Structure 1
């Protein structure tokens, strides 16, 4: 296998771009209908004297995870710089089972880690250290926490929380009655952090918690709502209790659920900010050249980094355009389709390779979707609207979460069916199946 092919494959990595990968970044604001989102989030922080808590939603693959990295760069530049901790929450928690105590430990652990690694500052553990022995039993008798630093001690608990369901429940059970005390402990550490930052010419501290948008949507075992609703609504008081600026990513299905108004009111929004998809075609199915051009630029930038000419990469322009169309305006899906097409055949990528990848996506969705999903999908395909009510809300949340239905905001909010979905069962077939 040639080194050139390896470079090409690796540059088409669907992982979110990091702050220093500006050479690959393409600004999609104009074709997503989300103009200036990063600057707006930063503006709220810069204009506020007291701590703020903001939410950011978006489809997986919309480019949402790149926006927090841009926000970090925005906040850490200019005359008034905020040291910004980027907390990749999935390093510490299990997305299938998330609760506030896990998040608290993860935030403080990653904050202490980044202060040490980026600034050379060891934050004082304070109250946390006095609780080491009490929680030590969850880690095994052979664990010695004497003299450990804050980030190291909390890392041991994060590992236990993520890897063992039983240990996770026991730690939560121990922490839950003392939640307010643990929040106070976290704020003691944050106060020390802000003091240390002032000595390095930072005006404050902000923490971006990325990854909660990927939490699994399922019924909470104790309360009558989803785990996402429980965390962002019922745990609102705890999520907003930290004495610094916070931005949490949240599941798009929750942002567009029947609880949307409750969430907006709790966090002080007219509506939670959302990163929508790039418009590739309009509501009539007509090609949107501006969206296509941006995705062509996204491809060209990655090819340029490897020194590859576009005509040597795609068999034809129509093959390239087919990949863009099948992406549905999802940047990550575009990159994934290209990567899978590289594996499926030889370069240049052919239409046949792209179609094989599309068929695999068809089969994957066919296994996911149930009969009751198809009625909603067919309605969206007809009028580009997602009609929700208490009865079908959970189905709509599932379709948004698995990206069977995609959100667009160009010229007003509208919805489209993912081009990678298989051909839907006919309406007559659905009706006959319902009669059985």
Structure 2
């Protein structure tokens, strides 16, 4: 009888799972790919804050293919910064924003809300009432005709009655199942966070309300930024330093997922937010890290982007399975094998896992084949593995069933590729280059092509599953 539990193995391959750095269980699954990704990018971000500019606000941009592991790396950065005595506010912006329709005001409200919530949870720190910002929220509330009373009661699902004292502590009282009330009695910060939360939740569901909120906030952008800095961020940083912390860091994840729709002035949304309004993003008086769409690395506005935000974006590339010359990337493949085997045997050392490949696959070559066709895209690798487990439903997983999964995936991908795109793919296969925004949108944005980095810089490879179909010859 084998050592491996197929059900647990399947659960561990969830491609949507973000590994949390402070979770002992998740830590068993983590593989450090930095050596084959062109450097220790997260360490660079950390040092820019902790060593080079601990007392001066910094603004950083972080990007890469969706699903390449950015969130996992950012959570590790959060843990490292907290160990360095910074207070870190990390949040996924997609929970607060409608990614198809985002404005600077929306981002600022989300940041203000998350800072307020995070600081409100600290026992030793209380902030002065942000009266100016409160007036802005009150005005938005009246405009949207909601029934929010920022200093009284708001309904939240799934909890009992919660009272917020002047110290920011909460106590839960009995309430009907599924229905409860939150009372923010004296703590203005708590009521402010509730108010912003109600506004963003309401507008996220309604295009009409989002337009009303934008029309209200847009003329006040400079005032809102100044108010957030003066009434919220600067007092927060001061209080944190009095409590022994070195500063405040805000990590805004998932902002790279904003959709490529047309915004004001016929501008694509990524360019509108990060280029046209980039100066607003860097004016917060604390350390801020934004994830940004990878498409901006190929935009004609890239130079304007780096000028407006005064920073070069950090890119998290794919894990190479091959080198530029076509030979196998030994270290990349070694790490990808461990990524798969760690899901099967999280409690074993790497060398022990290698001795148990036969528990998982019918041959070591089957595991290598799986890693190669993933192209080093970590989420794609897990998706392929999960599909294989679902279809075969028994161990060891066979090469025969893996080839069926690859063939099915390739046939599905092929349906969406037209003659013009095949011609572009042929050019990439020959030149290992992608040029300009148009080619990015067609090739990289749709994961038909992957980007890699080495000591010579960037290079590109056609998705290995597509490359095998024969259409590129």
Distance 1:121 1:421 in 2: 55
SS in structure 2 of the partner of residue 312 of structure 1: helix
SS in structure 2 of the partner of residue 408 of structure 1: strand
- Asked if 1:415 is matched to 2:456, the reply is no
C-alpha displacement at 1:233, in angstroms? 0.4
SS in structure 2 of the partner of residue 131 of structure 1: helix
Distance 1:409 1:281 in 2: 11
For the 8 Å contact 2:422–2:472, the answer to whether it is kept is no
Distance 1:22 1:117, change over 3 A: farther
Q: Which of 241, 246, 264 in structure 1 is aligned with 2:306?
A: 264
Q: Which of 27, 36, 40 in structure 2 is aligned with 1:31?
A: 36
What's 2:316 paired with?
A: 275
- Structure 1 alignment gaps of length 5 or more: 428-436
For the 8 Å contact 2:28–2:347, the answer to whether it is kept is no
Distance 1:191 1:292, change over 3 A: same
Distance 1:293 1:118 in 2: 43
Distance 2:65 2:89 in 1: 23
- Can you list the C-alpha shifts for 1:366-396, whole angstroms capped at 9, x where unaligned? 34434432222110111212233xxxx3232
What's 2:427 paired with?
A: 379
C-alpha displacement at 1:140, in angstroms? 4.3
C-alpha displacement at 1:64, in angstroms? 2.0
Distance 1:7 1:135, change over 3 A: same
What pairs up with 1:44-123 in 2 under 5 angstroms? 44-46=48-50, 47-48=52-53, 49-78=55-84, 81-117=85-121, 121=125, 123=127
- Asked if 1:330 is matched to 2:332, the reply is no
For the 8 Å contact 1:378–1:424, the answer to whether it is kept is no
For the 8 Å contact 1:257–1:397, the answer to whether it is kept is no
C-alpha displacement at 1:132, in angstroms? 3.6
Distance 2:283 2:470 in 1: 46
- Asked if 1:401 is matched to 2:445, the reply is yes
Corresponding pairs, count: 416
What's 1:171 paired with?
A: 213
- Asked if 1:9 is matched to 2:15, the reply is no
- Structure 2 alignment gaps of length 5 or more: 153-183, 185-190
Distance 1:141 1:415 in 2: 50
- Asked if 1:302 is matched to 2:307, the reply is no
Q: Which of 150, 168, 190 in structure 1 is aligned with 2:192?
A: 150
Structure with the greater alpha carbon radius of gyration? 2
Distance 1:103 1:194 in 2: 20
C-alpha displacement at 1:283, in angstroms? 2.5
Which sits farther off after the overlay, 408-417 or 137-146?
Answer: 137-146
SS in structure 2 of the partner of residue 284 of structure 1: coil
- Asked if 1:212 is matched to 2:255, the reply is yes
What's 2:392 paired with?
A: 345
SS in structure 2 of the partner of residue 409 of structure 1: strand
Which sits farther off after the overlay, 376-385 or 304-313?
Answer: 304-313
Distance 1:83 1:284, change over 3 A: same
C-alpha displacement at 1:117, in angstroms? 3.8
For normalisation by structure 2, the TM-score amounts to 0.82
Distance 2:389 2:143 in 1: 47
Distance 1:276 1:361 in 2: 22
Distance 1:225 1:370, change over 3 A: farther
